[in-house]
Amino acid sequence: MTSTTTRFLNPALMLGLSLLATLLTKMPKAIFAITIVVLTALGVWGTSHFVSLHSQVFSSEKVALGQESGEECAKRTIDHFETATFANEHLPSDAKLLFIGESRPFYFNKASLAPYPYHEHPLGQWIREAASTEELREKLRKEGFTISPSTQGNLNACMTNTNCSHSTDQMPPFMTSGSKNYRIL
C-alpha cells in the first residue's frame, strides 16, 4: 500500500479493528479461539507477502544488514541519484537549477525550481513570451538559473521529441559526464 492509500484507510482500519475486538468479546470461547488463529495466520501471510515484495522492489534489507551501503542502494533504486551526486560535487555552490520534466530535487543541494507535475511549468509561459531562443536564454539568466540537470531518460525523451520548435543546434550546449547531463543556461 502506498502512503496515500494508508492515510485514507487508517480510519477505516481502526474502526474495523475496534468493531472486531468488540464482537470477539461477545463470542463463545471456541469461536474466539478460531478467529484469533485465522487472524494470526492472515497477519503472518500478509507480513511475509509485504516483506517479499519489498525485497523484490527495493532490497533495502541489504542496507540494514550491512551488506550494501546506503549510497549503493540509492544509486540502484533512485534514477537521479548519480546526477545529483555529480551536481553536488562539481557545480558551483551558487548554481540555481531549473528542472524540466522532473519534480524530485531531493538529493540536489542547490537552489532549484521543480514544479509539481500537475501545475504548469513556468518555462511554458517563458517560451510562449520569448521571440527567440536568445530571448528565452536571457529570461532564464534573469531568473537566476544557471543549470538544467536531466536524467538520461529525460534527455532521451527531449532529444527524440519531434514537436520541438527549435533545432538542437540552436539550444545551449550540454555538459555531459556519463549518464549525468546538464544544459548550460
Tens-digit pLDDT profile for residues 60-97: 778 878 888 888 888 888 878 888 888 888 888 888 88
- Residue 124 has a CB neighbour count (10 Å cut-off) of 10
Q: What CA–CA distance (Å, rounded) separates 160 from 162?
A: 6
pLDDT at 159: 41
pLDDT at 45: 93
pLDDT at 179: 43
Average pLDDT, the chain: 76
- Residue 178 has a CB neighbour count (10 Å cut-off) of 9
Cα 74 from chain centroid? 12
Q: Residue range 136-156: average pLDDT? A: 73
pLDDT at 185: 53
pLDDT level of residue 18 (50, 70, 90 thresholds): confident
3-state secondary structure the chain: CCHHHHHHHHHHHHHHHHHHHHHHHHCCHHHHHHHHHHHHHHHHHHHHHHHHHHHHHCCCHHHHCCCCCHHHHHHHHCCCHHHHHHHHHHCCCCCEEECCCCCCCCCCCCEEECCCCCCCCHHHHHHHHCCCHHHHHHHHHHCCCCEEEECHHHHHHHHCCCCCCCCHHHCCCEEEECCEEEEEC
pLDDT at 8: 76
